[in-house]
A = this chain, B = another copy of it.
Amino acid sequence: MQKNFELLATDRHSKARRGRLTSAHGVINTPAFMPVGTQGSVKGVSPRELRELNAQIILGNTYHLFVRPGLDVIKRFGGLHDFMNWSGPILTDSGGYQIFSLAKLRKITEDGVEFQNHIDGARAFISPEIAMEIQVLLGSDIAMALDECVPYPCEYDYAAQSTEMTTRWAKRCKEWKRRNGETAKRGLADSPIRPLADSFLFGIIQGATFEGLRKENAQAIVDLDFDGYAIGGVSVGEPEEEMMRAVEWAEPFLPENKPRYAMGLGTPPQLLELIARGMDMFDCVLPTRLARNGTAFTAAGTVNLKNAEFILDKNPIEENCTCEACREFSRGYIRHLIKAEEILGLRLITLHNLHFYLNLMNQARAEIGNGTFEQFRKAFVAGYKTRDAVTVE
């Protein structure tokens, strides 16, 4: 399939959009949620279960895969799709976010970033060009330009310099792809070989919490003409209003006919708020991570199934939910499994949570198509009780 993004509908009452992204490994209807497959596996579920959940695309973390199993292994298996037996689209991050949040002894220069990984401390160096090479080797359908993700809070001067460097890095990624687009092949070995030119490359907009930087950087990154645009430097511990502002400042600079990705976000109401602010794609570890702690998402908010109130509860996690966990098991049984540390417990909650997120996007797409997204968003946000325990990661 030729890579392509079509804008199918726009909401009259908000900036919400209904789109369709066509990649070499399949179609992604937007707004879309991408389950996170950090280490070549979406934690707790199998690729078959992801297919049954109708996940359209998953995310692979370049940094984690670079550290373990390492590129020689991925290369031997012809890329990430074949390695993990997932034949749908894969978005890979550039590795930047994790280098800045997990790795040790980072040394950032104009050239790139040197670091020691968090597993065995081995030294490595990643430049914009190397980040591209790695993502090509992973067989990425949507690759991300290497950026520096500054922490929250961040001094203005540092943010300003960093944002400018992120722009120069983005340009180098674009340039690398232009020069290698027809020769570099994504995936190897037994996989059908596809030229890099068939894959998407997204630029990432930084700028910390500063309006001027966010706007300047949005313009600068858009001027480089990427296949899509991401808002980065969010989900780094900032308050929700700062996160929303980062998106609102950048969004007016983004071309209508390109997909927009809000990185690492968010809670269910946040996703709807971000859709209303013109975002199309999301990834977040909340549905899988909270499941491992016994927390399930429902339309009324999160519930922790470890709570004693569920001991004798014969109801499913959520009434009328059509996921496997809710069709077949009770809250009382799942609570028992979590308390007894049986793996099936976190599997079932993970299935439910991913279904919840994917289904929320399903609904959002339908409501946008029907012109009823604003009512839907307002009703959902009003009905969803946010607890302190759920914070943006």
Contacts and interface: CB of A to CB of B under 8 A. Distances in A.
B346 A343 contact: yes
A342 interface: yes
B333 A83 contact: yes
A270 interface: no
B336 A69 contact: yes
A84 B72 CA distance: 43
A124 to B, nearest CB: 18
User: How extensive is the interface on chain A, given as a class?
Assistant: 35 or more
A314 B77 contact: yes
Contacts of A324: 48
Interface stretch (A37-45, A89-97, A154-162, A381-389): A37-45
A59 to B, nearest CB: 15
A84 B343 contact: no
Given A73-B311, A85-B333, A329-B85, A39 B346 contact: no
B333 A77 contact: yes
29 contacts: A39-B336, A39-B342, A40-B333, A40-B342, A41-B340, A41-B342, A41-B343, A41-B344, A41-B345, A44-B343, A44-B344, A46-B347, A46-B348, A47-B328, A48-B324, A68-B340, A69-B311, A69-B332, A69-B339, A69-B340, A73-B312, A73-B332, A76-B332, A83-B330, A83-B332, A83-B333, A85-B328, A85-B329, A343-B347
A140 B65 CA distance: 47
A184 interface: no
A27 interface: no
Contacts of A314: 76-77
Given A44-B343, A44-B344, A69-B311, 20 more contacts: A39-B340, A40-B336, A41-B340, A41-B343, A45-B344, A46-B347, A48-B328, A68-B340, A69-B339, A73-B332, A76-B312, A76-B314, A77-B330, A77-B333, A83-B332, A83-B333, A84-B333, A85-B333, A343-B343, A343-B347
Contacts of A340: 39-41, 68-69
A337 interface: yes
Contacts of A72: 312
Contacts of A76: 312, 314, 332
Contacts of A40: 333, 336-337, 340, 342
A43 B343 CA distance: 7
Contacts of A344: 41, 44-46
Contacts of A85: 328-329, 333
Nearest to A39: B340
Interface centre among A46, A328, A332 (most CB of B within 10 A): A46
